Amino acid sequence: MKTYFIHSCKNNEKFEVYEYLNGQLLDTSEIDSDQLLQAIEPNSIVNYLLPSDRCIVLNGKKNESETEEVFKARFLMEHEHELIDDVSNNSFAYSDEMELVALAATDVIGPINDLLNQFASDARIIPEHFLLHSIADNACIEHREHFVLSFSDGSGFCTNEANLESYLTVLNRKHPDYKPHLLSKNKTLQNAFSDSVVDNASLLDLHGHLMSESQPVFPNFFRGYFSIKSIYRKLDLTRNQVGLSIILLALLIALPITNVSLMDSYERQYRQKINQTFLSINPNFRRVINPRAQMDELVRNQPSLQRGRIDLNAFAYLRALDLENITRTSIDFEKAIMLLELNDLPQIKYALIERLIEESEMMIISDELVRTDSSVSGVIQLRYSFE
């Protein structure tokens, strides 16, 4: 995993970027904000060092019973006299371990925070002077005519070479006992702090100290939020993978909608069928509210069909005759039709059948019999009546 340190250049229009891999410096570059997004690899650690003259650091301790919002409100109210801008115009960062609060103008932190959110990385926005705390609480470093000072109370400041002497005059008046570790060979600094310890540590050494800490405890202004661009960079997808992901996402969205539409269509068809069924039973029907209850009501109100009973007592005589010459019989109960197929039935027995037909009030509807002097053969169809 790569680690980046981003410093603002003295003109505040460009950034000085240090790129490390496993603690080894790979590259340094001076680029603008448009190039910065391409220079930072996703899923890296990004440390943005906020110039210390753009923020103030104050001591503060959150009570155990306080929420972060309650503590923030109390702290801002207690230190309102130390703030130049309105309290609502300040971004708030707190370190519980160091018991320090850092405040910076929202219009300064906002654009930086938005930029870092696009990197899809583990980002931090920390005051620049905190780099010096790995050397000493009171320390001073020079880098490219940029001077950064840290103090034992956690505060810090930075200035350029043109304003250095005037700042040192004010500093000496306010803190006459201030004796920082000097990480600089600047004559002005050495004259101002002649009794101070001169240290040969460089800016790269300070980067190294910060990288050795798994989780820095400094106040951090960065606030992450969800964005499509950051997710895209974090996943580091190819164009084909992006296209496939879009298709899958579209399907995930479309399938539930399609399913709901199909269910609505099935429901409409079901209701239409129900309405047709009710109308077929009762043409005066207008509206279905409770299909089951309404169907039961319609069925109860339908006149019952009285089916007649068939008197087949006369047919019992046919069995009693043991008529072997009757080769086939069938009855269609729906049409009330009986069929008899005869084969060489003696005339005397056929005469008995004719008598039974008359007594049973049956009607011959089809006579396909062939009669001889001694027998009868063929098919006869009879219609019987209901009681």
The answer to whether 383 and 367 are in contact (CB under 8 A) is no
Contacts of 332 (CB under 8 A, 6+ apart): 338, 339
Angle value at C-alpha 170, between 164 and 174, nearest 5 degrees: 135
Q: What is the pLDDT of residue 337?
A: 87
Q: What is the pLDDT of residue 229?
A: 64
Q: What's the half-sphere exposure (Cβ side, CA atoms, 13 Å) at 341?
A: 5
Mean pLDDT of the chain: 84
Binned at pLDDT 50, 70 and 90, residue 164 comes out as very high
Q: Who wins on pLDDT, 291 or 243?
A: 243
> Hunting for tokens 């069924």 — which residue is that?
277
Binned at pLDDT 50, 70 and 90, residue 106 comes out as very high
For the chain, which residues make up each domain, given as ranges?
A: 2-235, 239-301, 316-383
Q: Who wins on pLDDT, 255 or 86?
A: 255
Nearest Cα to 366, choosing from 329, 333, 340?
A: 340
pLDDT for 354 beyond 80: yes
- Cα–Cα distance measured from residue 242 to residue 245, given in angstroms and rounded to the nearest whole number: 5
Binned at pLDDT 50, 70 and 90, residue 350 comes out as confident
Binned at pLDDT 50, 70 and 90, residue 84 comes out as low
Average pLDDT over residues 305-329: 61
Q: What is the pLDDT of residue 228?
A: 64
Q: What is the pLDDT of residue 386?
A: 58
Coil, helix or strand at residue 240? helix
pLDDT for 30 beyond 70: yes
Q: What is the pLDDT of residue 298?
A: 66
**How far from each other are the two terminal CA atoms of the chain, in whole angstroms?**
100
The answer to whether 105 and 54 are in contact (CB under 8 A) is yes
Average pLDDT over residues 319-328: 68
Q: What is the pLDDT of residue 20?
A: 96
- pLDDT above 70 coverage of the chain, percent: 83
Cα torsion angle, 315, 316, 317, 318, sign:
positive
The arrangement of strands across the sheet holding 15-21 comes to 24-31, 15-21, 2-8, 45-50, 122-127
Query: Residue 314 phi/psi, 5° resolution?
Result: -65, -30
- pLDDT above 90 coverage of the chain, percent: 38
- Cα–Cα distance measured from residue 74 to residue 61, given in angstroms and rounded to the nearest whole number: 11
Average pLDDT over residues 72-81: 87
Binned at pLDDT 50, 70 and 90, residue 317 comes out as low
- Cα–Cα distance measured from residue 141 to residue 176, given in angstroms and rounded to the nearest whole number: 19
Count of residues making up the chain = 387
**Of the ranges 145-159, 269-283, 364-378, the best mean pLDDT one:** 145-159
Tell me the β-bridge partners of 364: 382
Task: Specify the DSSP element, H or E, that contains 337.
Answer: strand 337-346
Average pLDDT over residues 40-62: 92
Give Cα separations from 136 to 153, 180, 196, 198, 314 (angstroms): 12, 8, 12, 12, 127
Q: What is the pLDDT of residue 334?
A: 79
The answer to whether 364 and 336 are in contact (CB under 8 A) is no
- Cα–Cα distance measured from residue 219 to residue 31, given in angstroms and rounded to the nearest whole number: 26
Q: What is the pLDDT of residue 311?
A: 55
Average pLDDT over residues 153-165: 92
Beta pairing class for 375-383 and 337-346: antiparallel
Q: What is the pLDDT of residue 236?
A: 62
Nearest Cα to 120, choosing from 37, 231, 38, 226?
A: 231
**Of the ranges 34-38, 63-67, 120-124, 127-131, the best mean pLDDT one:** 127-131
Binned at pLDDT 50, 70 and 90, residue 310 comes out as low
Q: What is the pLDDT of residue 320?
A: 54
Kindly report, residue by residue over 191-208, the tens digit of the pLDDT.
Answer: 999 888 888 889 999 999
Nearest Cα to 32, choosing from 14, 51, 59, 16?
A: 14
Kindly report, residue by residue over 234-284, the tens digit of the pLDDT.
Answer: 666 566 766 777 888 888 888 889 888 899 888 888 878 877 777 776 666
306-319: buried (b, 16+ CB within 10 Å) or exposed (e) per residue? eeeeeeeebbeebe
Binned at pLDDT 50, 70 and 90, residue 345 comes out as confident
pLDDT for 305 beyond 60: no
Nearest Cα to 72, choosing from 84, 88, 86, 56?
A: 88
User: Per mean pLDDT, which range of 47-61, 139-153, 208-222 is the poorest?
Assistant: 208-222
Task: Specify the DSSP element, H or E, that contains 188.
Answer: helix 187-192
pTM of the predicted structure, to 2 decimals: 0.62
